[in-house]
Amino acid sequence: QYQIIKKADGAQPKPTDVVTVHYEGKLIDGKVFDSSVERGSPIDLPVGGVIPGWVEGLQLMHVGEKIKLFIPSDLAYGAQSPSPAIPANSVLVFDLELLGIKDPAAAPTPGADADEEEAAPAASAPAKK
């Protein structure tokens, strides 16, 4: 389930896209466990390389939109606890803003390979030409 906070009519990402997002992740009781907003730095991540609830939610969004995304545990981490801040079988609530879609055909940005310490899990490395 999701609730649109700010509507926009930008492009919609595909599962193969890399997107730039700002997010704040909370437990159902409102306790924040992760926030790119608090860090002051949005992240780039592959749409198909994150938890299933994000894969579905991101594809429903348009660039420029903000949504509140409610993710049941079976579309999040299920019985596995990825960190002490997220108990097993937790329903997660994300405030998610889709800032942009990167062009996968574009040349990689200088230093992009050095930026491997993202909070969200990455998918596979880009295909070699």
Active-site positions read: 23, 33-34, 51, 77, 94
In this structure, what DSSP letter does residue 83 have?
Answer: B
Torsion over CA: 12, 18, 20, 21 (sign): positive
User: Which residue matches tokens 């896209």?
Assistant: 17
Question: What is the C-alpha separation between 119 and 10, in angstroms, rounded?
Answer: 25
β-strand partners of 23: 96
Question: What is the C-alpha separation between 51 and 57, in angstroms, rounded?
Answer: 10
β-strand partners of 92: 27, 71
Question: What is the C-alpha separation between 96 and 56, in angstroms, rounded?
Answer: 13
